[in-house]
Homo-oligomer: A and B are copies of this chain.
Amino acid sequence: MKLRYTLFVGLAVSSIALAQGDDARKAIDALNRQFITACQNMDHHASAALWADDGVDLLPGNAPLIGKAKISAWLDSLTPQLQGGKMMYCTVDWQDIRIHGDVAYEWGINRQKIEFPPPKKAFEGEGKILLILKRQADGSWKIALESWTSK
């Protein structure tokens, strides 16, 4: 009887863990889609909304951007130089996604190309992107940290 109970509790706990893992993966896949859609649309407001309040952005040539407010202001600062630009593509080919309870991390190859009316040259970027994601108090997943490294 004890064995059967243990097995039952064991299976129940495993099932809950699996279901939570599935839910986390679904939420992270959804966040990744939002991340790409925001980039494709050059929608900085939508990009900023994906960040945790205490998020940190580590980008080449920039001092660390600490906190959603700073990250949001930096995204807004890009608007003038993107005037007239058209995002041809913005993709991330995720290579690995690891979930550990309320924390996850994922890395991949990010490619983007923005075309401008002549004579301004197109911008092409390729690099390795790493995101650390965290489940927030309200259950949503947000970006806690980004580190982007050139090709």
User: A128 is contacted by which of B58, B96, B103, B132 (Cβ under 8 Å)?
Assistant: B58
User: Is B101 touching A58 in the complex (CB atoms < 8 A)?
Assistant: no
Q: How far is the CB of A144 from chain B (nearest CB, A)?
A: 8
Cβ contacts under 8 Å, A149 to chain B: 58-60, 147-149
A105's nearest neighbour on chain B, judged by CB, is: B132
Known: A101-B101, A132-B132. A61 touches B147 (CB 8 A): no
A95 near B: Cβ within 8 Å?
yes
Main secondary structure of the interface of A (DSSP, over half): strand
Report B-chain residues with C-beta under 8 Å of the C-beta of A150: 60-61, 150
The 0/1 profile, CB within 8 Å of B marked 1, for residues 61-77 of chain A is 10010000000000000
Contact A102 B105 (CB under 8 A): no
Residues of B with C-beta under 8 A to A96: 56
Q: Which of B100, B132, B147 contacts A58 (CB 8 A)?
A: B147
Distance in Å from the Cβ of A110 to the closest Cβ of chain B? 11
> How near does chain B come to A12, taking the closest CB pair, in angstroms?
21
A130 CB within 8 Å of chain B: yes
Among B100, B102, B128, B151, the residue within 8 A (CB) of A147 is B128
5 A-B pairs whose Cβ atoms sit less than 8 Å apart in the complex: A56-B96, A60-B60, A100-B102, A147-B149, A149-B149
